[in-house]
C-alpha cells in the first residue's frame, strides 16, 4: 500500500478487528485495563499475531501512516514496548528496514540489569511502537527509559488508540512526543453500527461510555464503621481498588501502605509520612510540567501540607528562575483557621468556653513544624526557613507570609521583578492567580482577607514591599487546595480525567 488514506485505513483496521473478534463489549462485567481503569470495552490486538493476512494488511497501513505522518528519513530505529509491542515493532522495523530494540517496563534485575535490549546508537531517533494505548501514561515510562539510554524519542505509534480518556495525547505532548494510530474506538463504533455487529442496546451503552468514560467507571468502595480497624478487611478493599485515599496519622498511613499487594493500586496519602520520599510523587503539579507528568504516572502520591503548599508556591519559582539563591535567608509565618487542628481543636473552639481561644495563638515555637522538611525540599532551599504557624478563631482559610531582603536576590531584582517572575511562572495554571504588584485594590480598606479563597481549590499570591524589603503572601483554603482539593486534583491527573473535574477556582 502506498500513500495514506486515513478514513480508509481507520475503517479497514476497524473491520479487521471486528472480523477477528478482537473487539469486546461487556457492560455487565467490565474489563480491567492496564491503566487500572474499569472499562466495558476492550480491544485484544495481540490476537492479530495469529492471522498473517490481516497482520500483513495492518503492517502495510502502519508503514504508510508512519511515512506520511512522520517522514521517510525521520526515524533511525524502532523500539517495541514489553510485551505486546514487541512483535509489531519487529514487523514495522522490517518493513522500514530499520534496526529494532525493545524496552522493558523496568530493568530486568539480573545480568546487565538492562532495560533496553538490542543495540541502540547514541542519539538515534527512535519510534516507540505498542499495540494500543488507553490513557498513554504507560508510554511515558518507555519513552523516558529510551531517552535515559541516549535515544531521541519524539513519536509513538500504536495500532489502536482508545481516544476516549481526557489528555491521552496531551500527556505525551508535555514530554515532546506525538501519538500516531491506525484507528480509535470511534472508528470501531461507526463500523460496528454500519455492519450490525452488535445489538442496538449494547451499542447504545457502549456509546454512552465512550462519550463519558469517567461517569461510568467510578465505584466507591465502602468499609463498615465497625470494620475500620479490621486489617483483613482494609487489606481486601485497598487491593480491590484502583485508587485509595489515606487520611490517617503518619504511623497509621505507613501501616496501611504495607497492606498493598496489588501493583496496580494507586495510593494518595494525605499525611506527612511520605512527602519527602523520593519514590512518592509530591502532589503539587504547579511545581513544573515534569511534576505534573510524574503525578499522572505515579502509583504513590503524597498530598502536600497546607502551610507547605502556600510557602512552596511563593518561593519555588524564584529559585527555579535564578532570582533567589537557594541559601537566601527567609522568615515566614502562617495564619490558619482552627479546622486544620482536627476534631479536638475544632471541638475546643466551637464550645466557646475558653476565652484564650479568642485571640491568635502561635505554636511550634521550637521551629520544628512538621511541614518544614517538605517546604525546604520542594522549594529547593539550602536550609529551612524560620517558620512560625499561628492558629486563629475562624474555621477555615490560610495565608502564608514570607519576608526577605532584596539584597539577597539577583542584582537588580526588586518586588516588581519578583511579582513578574511569579506571574509568568503561573500564567497557564488554572488554580493560581498572581495579583499585580502592591495590589491595594485587593485589600479591604488596607487589610488582607485570609478567607477569600475558601471553598475553592485556588491559590492567590501577592507581592508587596519596597526596594529593600519584600513580602509575598499566598492564601488558600486549608481544607481545599491545602488538603482535599489537592487530593482530588491529583486523582484527576492520575486517572486521566480533566484536572479541574469536581473543583472550582471561584469562591
Per the DSSP assignment, residues forming a β-bridge with 161 are: 133, 184
47 exposure class (CB count in 10 Å sphere: 0-12, 13-18, 19+): middle
Say if CB 311 and CB 289 are below 8 A apart.
Answer: no
Whole-angstrom Cα distance, residue 459 to residue 274? 23
- Are 168 and 134 contacting, i.e. CB atoms less than 8 angstroms apart? yes
**Alpha-carbon torsion, ordered 292, 296, 302, 305, to 10 deg:** 40
R_g (Cα) of the chain, nearest Å: 26
In degrees and rounded to multiples of 5, residue 454 shows phi and psi of: -60, 145
Closest CA to 75 of 51, 50, 100: 100
ω into residue 379 within 30 of 0, thus cis?
A: no
306 has catalytic annotation: yes
CA–CA separation, 46 and 56 (whole Å): 14
Q: Indicate the SS3 state at residue 13.
A: helix
Among residues 75, 61, 197, 199, the alpha carbon closest in space to that of 127 is found at 75
Given a contact cutoff of 8 angstroms between Cβ atoms, the answer to whether 260 and 280 are in contact is no
Q: 398 — phi, psi (to 5°)?
A: -155, 145
Distance CA 403, CA 382 (A): 17
Instruction: Please tell me which residue in 45, 143, 266, 306 is annotated as part of the active site.
Output: 306
Grid cell locating 265: 493500586
- Catalytic annotation, residues: 306
Amino acid at each position: 500500500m502506498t500513500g495514506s488514506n486515513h478514513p480508509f485505513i481507520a475503517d479497514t483496521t476497524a473491520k479487521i478487528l471486528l472480523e477477528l473478534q478482537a473487539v469486546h463489549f461487556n457492560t455487565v462485567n467490565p474489563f480491567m485495563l492496564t491503566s487500572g481503569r474499569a472499562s466495558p470495552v476492550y480491544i485484544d490486538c495481540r490476537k492479530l499475531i495469529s492471522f498473517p493476512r490481516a497482520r500483513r494488511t495492518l503492517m502495510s497501513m502502519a508503514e504508510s501512516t508512519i511515512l506520511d505522518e512522520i517522514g521517510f528519513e525521520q526515524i533511525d530505529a524502532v523500539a517495541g514496548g514489553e510485551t505486546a509491542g514487541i512483535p509489531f515493532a519487529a514487523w514495522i522495523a522490517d518493513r522500514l528496514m530499520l534496526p529494532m530494540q525493545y524496552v522493558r517496563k523496568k530493568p530486568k534485575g539480573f545480568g546487565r540489569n538492562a532495560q533496553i535490549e538490542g543495540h541502540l546508537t547514541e542519539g538515534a531517533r527512535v519510534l516507540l511502537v505498542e499495540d494500543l494505548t488507553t490513557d498513554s501514561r504507560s508510554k511515558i515510562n518507555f519513552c523516558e527509559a529510551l531517552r535515559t539510554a541516549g535515544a531521541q524519542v519524539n513519536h509513538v505509534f500504536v495500532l489502536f488508540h482508545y481516544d476516549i480518556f481526557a489528555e491521552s495525547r496531551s500527556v505525551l505532548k508535555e514530554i515532546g512526543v506525538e501519538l500516531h494510530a491506525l484507528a480509535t474506538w470511534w472508528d470501531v463504533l461507526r463500523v460496528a453500527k454500519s455492519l450490525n455487529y452488535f445489538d442496538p442496546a449494547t451499542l447504545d451503552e457502549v456509546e454512552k461510555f465512550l462519550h463519558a468514560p469517567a461517569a461510568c467507571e467510578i465505584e466507591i468502595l465502602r468499609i463498615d464503621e465497625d470494620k475500620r480497624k479490621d486489617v483483613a478487611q482494609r487489606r481486601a478493599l485497598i487491593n480491590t481498588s484502583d485508587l485509595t485515599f489515606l487520611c490517617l496519622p503518619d504511623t497509621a498511613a505507613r501501616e496501611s501502605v504495607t497492606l498493598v499487594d496489588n501493583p496496580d493500586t494507586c495510593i494518595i496519602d494525605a499525611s506527612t509520612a511520605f512527602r519527602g520520599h523520593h519514590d512518592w510523587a509530591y502532589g503539587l503539579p504547579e511545581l513544573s510540567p515534569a511534576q505534573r507528568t510524574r503525578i499522572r504516572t505515579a502509583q504513590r502520591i503524597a498530598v502536600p501540607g497546607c502551610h507547605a503548599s502556600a510557602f512552596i508556591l511563593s518561593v519555588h519559582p524564584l529559585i527555579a528562575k535564578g532570582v533567589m539563591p537557594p541559601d537566601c535567608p527567609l522568615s515566614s509565618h502562617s495564619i490558619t483557621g482552627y479546622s486544620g487542628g482536627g476534631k479536638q481543636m475544632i471541638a475546643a473552639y466551637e464550645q466557646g468556653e475558653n476565652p484564650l481561644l479568642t485571640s491568635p495563638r502561635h505554636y511550634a515555637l521550637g521551629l520544628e513544624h512538621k511541614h518544614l522538611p517538605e517546604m525546604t525540599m520542594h522549594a529547593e532551599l539550602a536550609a529551612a526557613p524560620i517558620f512560625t504557624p499561628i492558629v486563629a478563631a475562624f474555621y477555615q482559610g490560610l495565608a502564608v507570609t514570607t519576608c526577605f531582603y532584596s539584597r539577597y536576590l539577583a542584582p537588580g531584582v526588586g518586588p516588581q521583578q519578583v511579582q513578574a517572575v511569579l506571574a509568568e511562572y503561573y500564567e497557564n495554571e488554572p488554580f493560581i492567580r498572581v495579583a499585580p504588584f502592591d495590589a491595594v485594590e485587593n485589600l479591604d480598606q488596607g487589610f488582607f482577607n485570609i478567607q477569600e479563597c475558601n471553598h475553592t481549590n485556588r491559590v492567590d499570591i501577592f507581592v508587596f514591599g519596597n526596594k529593600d524589603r519584600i513580602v509575598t503572601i499566598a492564601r488558600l483554603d486549608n481544607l481545599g487546595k491545602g488538603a482535599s482539593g489537592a487530593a482530588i486534583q491529583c486523582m484527576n491527573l492520575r486517572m486521566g480525567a480533566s484536572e479541574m473535574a469536581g473543583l472550582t477556582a471561584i469562591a
